[in-house]
Amino acid sequence: MVGGIDKQIYLPYKLADQLGFYKKYGVDVTLSTEQDGGVGAEDAMISGQVDMAGAWYNHTIEFQMKHKAVEAIVQLSGAPGEREMCATASNVHAGADYAGKTMGVTDLGSGTDTLTQLIAAKAGVAKDKFSRTGVGAGSTAIAALKKGAISCVMTTQPTVTAIQKQNLGYSAVDLATVDGATKALGGAWPAAGVLARTDWVNSHKDETQRVVNALVDTMHWINTHTPEQIADALPAQYTNNNIITKADYVAALTQDKGQFLPDGIMPAGGPKIVLETEKLVGQADDSVKLGDTFTNEFAMNANKEEGYTVSTAPADSDG
């Protein structure tokens, strides 16, 4: 299950299917997506409803704090791919302006919720000084902004471009690329990846390796193809729908393609920065063992098997 399969931040999962890479490695993958108000991808994974979740790395830390062993088996992005989109009249330009506002997030407890709290905390604004509410993404997020139910929404492409095209708001905080995340958060902030229960991974290493092989192939394909070629490879309803045209989808991907890692490797320093995020918003403490929250074993194997050059410096067991 993917946390919003038509979002650009999560495009590698469907792209791998479209390119035939799951079939190439002999793995039968059934893709499903979160529904607004439904079970989150990471929660479906931990409960055993699905084997793997297309979700953010930070959930592995949160699960460890609940004494549940979950790990990221391949890392697809080094940035959240998110922007804080604020209503034209909101007068919000940074975390310090969140006080007294109602901020939209995908849903409470989501990665966007954590990031919203983080940006405020870095500016000295405690989470009890502003409100957060779940508004989903796409048309529901746009509707909430349009009717004034929220001042801002933490969201991704193509929703970002749709908000801009409709003159509903502007980008106040950029977490959409590795460069943007580094400026705002101090370094790469690994987000989208594949999460699985550690016990499942240990008992299904062959299946895990095949899935990672397919996604590592996909990341190299993304890195060597244009936004136009990527859009052409995706289902038409992902790139041309009621909130965005294909031309706008391509423009959005051109703007934010820098979020994607070229080789599926968890980047050095990334887990540490995410842990600091979780600690700052009260979701984790120093007891977390970062080495148990991710593995580069499968991605390194995949790159070696296909003869790819690994360009991302890999995180060690300390993150």
Q: What is the pLDDT of residues 48-98, one digit of tens each?
A: 999 999 999 999 999 999 999 999 999 999 999 999 999 999 999 999 999
Confidence at residue 281, expressed as pLDDT on a 0 to 100 scale: 86
Confidence at residue 300, expressed as pLDDT on a 0 to 100 scale: 99
* pLDDT band (50, 70, 90) for residue 229: very high
Asked: is 8-79+189-306 a CATH 3.40.190.10 domain? The reply is yes
Q: What is the pLDDT of residues 35-50, one digit of tens each?
A: 765 568 999 999 999 9
Examine domains 8-79+189-306 and 82-175 and report if their fold is the same.
yes
Q: What is the pLDDT of residues 185-196, one digit of tens each?
A: 888 899 999 999
* pLDDT band (50, 70, 90) for residue 182: confident
Confidence at residue 185, expressed as pLDDT on a 0 to 100 scale: 85
Q: Is 0.85 topped by the overall pTM?
A: yes
Of 210 and 277, the one with more pLDDT: 210
Whole-angstrom Cα distance, residue 155 to residue 7? Answer: 9
Whole-angstrom Cα distance, residue 115 to residue 120? Answer: 9
Of 39 and 266, the one with more pLDDT: 266
Q: What is the mean pLDDT of residues 139-148?
A: 96
Lowest mean pLDDT among 175-184, 215-224, 271-280: 175-184
Confidence at residue 4, expressed as pLDDT on a 0 to 100 scale: 86
Of 199 and 255, the one with more pLDDT: 199
Percentage of the chain exceeding pLDDT 70: 99
What is the assigned CATH class of domain 82-175?
A: alpha beta
Of 199 and 281, the one with more pLDDT: 199
Confidence at residue 70, expressed as pLDDT on a 0 to 100 scale: 98
Q: What does the chain look like in DSSP terms, one character per residue? A: -BS-TTSGGGHHHHHHHHTTHHHHTT------B--TTS--HHHHHHTTSSSEEEEETHHHHHHHHTT--EEEEEE-BSS--EEEEEETTS---SGGGGTT-EEEESSTTSHHHHHHHHHHHHTT--GGGSEEEE--STHHHHHHHHTTS-SEEEEETTHHHHHHHTTSEEEEEEESSHHHHHHHHSS----EEEEEEHHHHHH-HHHHHHHHHHHHHHHHHHHTS-HHHHHHHS-HHHHSSSS--HHHHHHHHHHHGGGB-SS-PPBTTHHHHHHHHHHHTTS--TT--GGGSB--HHHHHHHHHHTPPP-SPBP-TT-
Domain ranges of the chain: 8-79+189-306, 82-175
22 has pLDDT over 90: yes
Percentage of the chain exceeding pLDDT 90: 86
Confidence at residue 36, expressed as pLDDT on a 0 to 100 scale: 60
* pLDDT band (50, 70, 90) for residue 219: very high
Confidence at residue 39, expressed as pLDDT on a 0 to 100 scale: 62
289 has pLDDT over 60: yes
Q: What is the mean pLDDT of residues 253-270?
A: 95
Mean pLDDT of all residues in the chain? 95
308 has pLDDT over 80: yes
Confidence at residue 290, expressed as pLDDT on a 0 to 100 scale: 98
